[in-house]
Structure 1
Amino acid sequence: MSNPNAVLWTCSLVGWLGLCFKLRDLKQAPHNPLRRAVCIMLALASMSMFSAAPASIAFINKITGTPNLAALFVYAIIVAFSASARVTLAYWLHPLDRARSAARRWTATYTIFIMALIALFAAGEAPIERRVDFDTYYSSTPFIREFILLYLIALAIADIALMGLCWKWAALAGRPWLRRGLKINAVGASCGLSFSLAKLVAVIARWYGTDWDGLSTHVAPLFAAPATVCMAIGLVLPSRGQHLTHMRTRVSRRGAYRELYPLWSALRQATPAIVPTGRIPRGDFELRLVRRLAEINDGRLALRSSVDPQVKDLALRLGREAGLSGSELRAVVEAARIKAAVDDKAQHIKFPPDTTTDDPQGGADGIGELAWLVEVSRAFANSPVVREVLIQLRKAREEGSLTPTRKE
């Protein structure tokens, strides 16, 4: 990392933001032990990221006056995070009574681990401050060696359990955002495991006289950063992802409203009666969208007597020649019929009612109708096939090969 402080602090910030979202969930159910465990896990992960930055390590060492005491502080937080991960898994896996019992056992076990960390650090000697390469520099120092191994193994075990469970449940989850959150959590746990393994390999290599310190100082941090980010996103996504879906839907519907304008505007000018006199409040977007759809459909109905039945065949032929098919072809045909009808109504040209029945387009639901009319509006405004239909229609009428059935 070119600037490890900025990277680690940014990842820590992401974790704190995730915690803010989860605290809102906890506020709704303050006695829910699973939500409490998740909040604690996020807080510890964020704290470990912030404290592991070289600048933070230097600050902790300076204010305590003890070289490398920051290592004990950071590693104790990492082991506490591992405990919170196991407690969270217990509440995910088991009924409440059994989960509470398992949570107490894991808390007691990892408390012993933290006490062991303190004892090992106190028994060992690490007089030279090492902000970045503490693990490899002291990898062979009595007691400090065990101190390093203990935190790495505790973290690796927790990440293995978390990764396995998240992958397993992601395959079974029914809700899309829960499934995505579990997968992202699994990726985060695999990054955490990779961090531990890279550190362990570098430490063990030192025991055999091999210098693989780069695994600890350069490779491992590359896994630590995304581990926290993935965990924060993965834990927040199941509860907040639905808001993203609603937001995307709102943005999509507003875009559709704008795309309907060319078709709606032409129909409004051709048949002004379709537009009611009452105004809609600007803040009520859904009502404005519903009215625009209704006015378009009313305009299409009002133009029935101006629809030349010969336009459909001409548009179908030209559309197929242009390589169109499916809904795209049907939208072009409908757009051509409407555009020709608008022109013919302006010239007071009428035709006998079209007795053929077309299959309804867009389905019976409002979403399908909206998508269909947006496609028609796009073709109405931009399709070269529609323009060519009108050109050939006028040319054929001028030559007499196509004539209006009746003119007012």
Structure 2
Amino acid sequence: MTSDKFYIPYLIPAAILTLALAIRLPVIMRFWRIDPNVRSLGGLLLLGSAVFYFGRPKTLALLNSSTGVSNFAAPLVYSLLTMFCASCLVMVIHWRGGDPRRVRRTIWTIWSVYASVVAGLWLTFALADVPVERLRDLDTYYANTPWMREHILLYLGAHTAACLITATVIRSWLREVTGWLRAGLVFLVIGFVLNLAYDAVKLVAVVARWTGHDLDWLSTYVAPPIASVCALFVAVGFILPHAGQAAQVLWTDYRQYRSLAPFVRELAGLDTGSLRLPRRTPLSRRLVQRRTLISDGLLRLQPYMDPGVRGRALAEALARRETPAQAAATADAVAVVVAVRSLRRGVPAVALAGAGAGGGGRGTAAAAPESEGAPAPGAAEGPDLVAVARALRRSPVVGSFRERP
């Protein structure tokens, strides 16, 4: 009666919503008791997944046979869908915020109304006469059946109202947010608008039955793929802000980790006492270790820093028309190169007053002549380690100082 191909519109959104729930699960479990937004999101994703898992024709048949009631799965699935609608509205109310008492009152009203809808679904189903099991076209097959007609209109009306309100409210926030959050809200708006298209297709097929026409194919073959696409957009809307931000942070950490490699190679052989990390250590921790290793190396080089060398390198970099920030990084890089050479020769710098790139390179930057027009990046925060590492790899000034005796 049903083919595997027909299951695809149900399995794909179920898997996507489950993935969204799995991604958000650590945050949901951590803040479940203290953050109502987290509770709303967790319930929404769980109910959304359940709608598609229970909505599969094979699952519907199993539910009907296990209970011995024809079409028993219909009010169950429609109840899950109705509670999903309520979760969407509750989520929107939490996001909008406002007076806590008003928020609690509104949420209580939403749950009361939709609990009444669920009760109405079971009541109308109990009063309806639906002896023939219909797994794919129940809405249109029983569109003219007393009480089942009201049953179908009840769930479609509740779903339409929830999607319309949710899409409208989220759309009003688009101008107030930016970045990954805004991208996620755009996907959510599209998803809930497509849900309205799903309701419209279903309703057109049902009304066609009332008027003596046959548009059952809209409900049977068009509506399920629309629902699948809806779930895709909604799931991406919830995943994107979290996953996008995490990916951006990971990419930034990776770029910094790779960019600092020349600095690490320059300090190779110095006794910094670094620990070897396991292979599965997160990149963020590896980046912290690499920065710590560099800072320890700079501390080790402190007695060998020569402000005069840095001043000459700064002048050469500015003469090559480097920007003040680039020139400062180049001067710090030259100071490190010369200091490493002095350390290995065992010759400390002659002028030690104010010297020291250790602890972030404060001495090297502070010794730069103010008249040169270059900033003193190390005076307060220390040098930009990534910029210094880039200068170690690319700057011709650093290369020229390497070749000098």
Q: Please state which band the TM-score falls in when normalised by the shorter chain.
A: 0.5 to 0.7
Counterparts in 2 of 1:6-405, with a 5 A limit? 6-14=11-19, 16-17=21-22, 20-21=25-26, 23-29=28-34, 35-91=38-94, 92-173=96-177, 178-208=181-211, 211-228=214-231, 230-231=233-234, 234=237, 241=242, 245=245, 248-249=248-249, 252-262=252-262, 264-266=264-266, 268=267, 275=270, 277-283=271-277, 285=286, 286-292=288-294, 295=297, 305=309, 357=372, 359-360=374-375, 369-379=384-394
Native 8 Å contact 2:14 2:50 kept in 1: no
Aligned partners of 2:217 and 2:391: how far apart in 1? 60
The residue type equivalent to 1:280 in the other structure is S
Q: SS of the residue aligned with 2:121?
A: helix
Q: Kindly indicate whether the alpha-carbon contact (under 8 Å) linking 1:307 and 1:341 is maintained by their aligned counterparts in 2.
A: no
RMSD value, Cα: 4.9
**TM-score normalised by length of structure 1:** 0.67
5+ residue gaps, structure 1, are 318-324, 347-353, 395-403
Output the amino acid matched with 1:197.
A
Q: Percent identity?
A: 26
Q: 1:158: Cα distance to partner?
A: 0.4
Q: CA deviation at 1:76?
A: 1.7
The total of aligned residue pairs comes to 368
- Kindly state the Cα deviation for residue 261 of structure 1 after the two structures are TM-superposed: 2.8
- Report the alpha carbon displacement of residue 51 of structure 1 after superposing the two structures with TM: 0.8
**Any conservation in 2 of the 1:331–1:375 contact (CA below 8 Å)?**
no
Give, as a single letter, the amino acid of the residue that structure 2 aligns with 1:372.
A
Q: Contact 2:21/2:42 (CA < 8 Å) preserved in 1?
A: no
Instruction: Provide closer, same or farther for how the CA distance between residues 219 and 302 of structure 1 changes in structure 2, counting only shifts above 3 A.
Output: farther
2:150 counterpart SS class: helix
Q: CA deviation at 1:184?
A: 4.0
> For the structure 1 residues 16 and 386, does the alpha-carbon distance in structure 2 shift closer, same or farther, using more than 3 Å as the test?
same
**What is the Cα deviation at residue 59 of structure 1?**
1.0
- Tell me by how many angstroms 1:75 deviates: 0.9
Q: Distance in 2 between matches of 1:72 and 1:212?
A: 23
Structure 1 residues 305 and 108, CA, compared in 2 at 3 Å: closer, same or farther?
closer
Q: Is the 8 A contact 1:331 1:372 kept in 2?
A: no
Deviation at 1:162, TM superposition (A): 1.1
Q: Secondary structure at the match of 1:219?
A: helix
- Map Cα deviations across residues 336-357 of structure 1 (whole Å, 9 max, x no partner): 9899999x999xxxxxxx9893
**d(CA) in 1 for partners of 2:379, 2:98:** 44
8 Å contact from structure 1 (residues 139, 207) kept in 2: yes
CA distance in 2 between partners of 1:100 and 1:160 (Å)? 21
In the alignment, residue 116 of structure 1 is paired with which amino acid? Answer: G
TM-score, normalised with respect to structure 2: 0.68
Aligned partner letter, 1:9: A
**Runs (5+) with no aligned partner, structure 2:** 278-284, 345-367
1:183 is displaced (CA, Å) by 3.8
C-alpha distance in 1 between matches for 2:318 and 2:123: 88
Q: 1:63 Cα deviation (Å)?
A: 0.9
Q: 1:263 to 1:130 in 2, by over 3 A?
A: same
C-alpha displacement of 1:4: 3.7
Counterparts in 2 of 1:340 and 1:367: CA distance versus 1, 3 Å:
closer
Closer, same or farther in 2 for the Cα pair 1:229/1:95, shift >3 Å?
A: farther
Query: Is the alpha carbon distance of 1:17 and 1:331 closer, same or farther for their aligned partners in structure 2, counting shifts above 3 Å?
Result: same
Q: Which amino acid aligns with 2:132?
A: I
Q: Determine the C-alpha separation between the residues in 1 that align with 2:67 and 2:382.
A: 63
Q: For the residues of structure 2 that align with 1:209 and 1:15, how far apart are their CA atoms?
A: 42
CA distance in 2, matches of 1:215, 1:95: 44
**Distance in 2 between residues matched to 1:128 and 1:98, nearest whole Å:** 46
Moved more, 155-164 or 2-11: 2-11
